[in-house]
Amino acid sequence: MLKILANTHKVIATIIHQRIKQDYNINLNLNKIQWGSVCPDVLPYYKLIRHYQKESINFISKEISNLIYFCRYSNLQENTNPILINYLSKKLGIISHYLSDYCCYPHAYRMTFFDDMKAHIKYESDLNVYVLSQKFKEENYEYVINTKNLDLFENVDKKLKVRVKEYIETVICEYKNAPISFDTDMNFALDISSKIASFVIESALVYNEDLEIQFS
Q: For residue 211, is it within any domain?
A: no
At residue 216 the predicted structure's pLDDT band, cuts being 50, 70 and 90, is low
Q: For residue 112, is it within any domain?
A: yes
Q: What is the CATH number of the domain that holds 67?
A: 1.10.575.10
Q: For residue 151, is it within any domain?
A: yes
With contact defined as beta carbons under 8 Å apart, do 119 and 65 qualify? no
- The confidence score (pLDDT) of residue 136 equals 81
In angstroms, what is the C-alpha Rg of the chain?
17
Q: For residue 110, is it within any domain?
A: yes
Strand, coil or helix: what is 157?
coil
The total of structural domains in the chain comes to 1
Cα 200 from Cα 206, distance rounded (Å): 10
> What one-character-per-residue DSSP string does 93-109 give?
HHHHHHHHHHTSHHHHT
At residue 81 the predicted structure's pLDDT band, cuts being 50, 70 and 90, is confident
pLDDT digits (tens, 9 = 90+) for 22-60: 999 999 999 999 999 999 999 999 989 998 899 999 999
Burial 70-100 (b: 16+ CB within 10 A, else e): bbbebebeeeeeeeebbbbbbbbbbbbbbbb
Q: What is the pTM of this model?
A: 0.91
Which structural domain range is residue 107 located in?
Answer: 2-206
% residues pLDDT > 90 (the chain): 66
Q: For residue 215, is it within any domain?
A: no
1 C-beta neighbours (distance < 10 Å), count:
9
pLDDT at 9 over 50: yes
Q: For residue 181, is it within any domain?
A: yes
Q: For residue 117, is it within any domain?
A: yes
DSSP state of 145: -
Q: For residue 216, is it within any domain?
A: no
Torsion angle in degrees (nearest 10) through CA of 63, 65, 70, 73: 160
pLDDT at 16 over 80: yes
The highest-confidence range among 87-101, 108-122, 198-212, by mean pLDDT, is: 87-101
Cα 122 from Cα 6, distance rounded (Å): 14
Q: Tell me which long-range contacts 140-146 makes (C-beta under 8 A, separation of at least 24).
A: 141/15, 141/186, 141/187, 141/190, 141/191, 142/187, 143/187, 143/191, 144/178, 144/184, 144/187, 144/188, 144/191, 145/171, 145/174, 145/188, 145/191, 145/192, 145/195, 146/174
pLDDT at 5 over 70: no
- The confidence score (pLDDT) of residue 212 equals 64
pLDDT at 67 over 60: yes
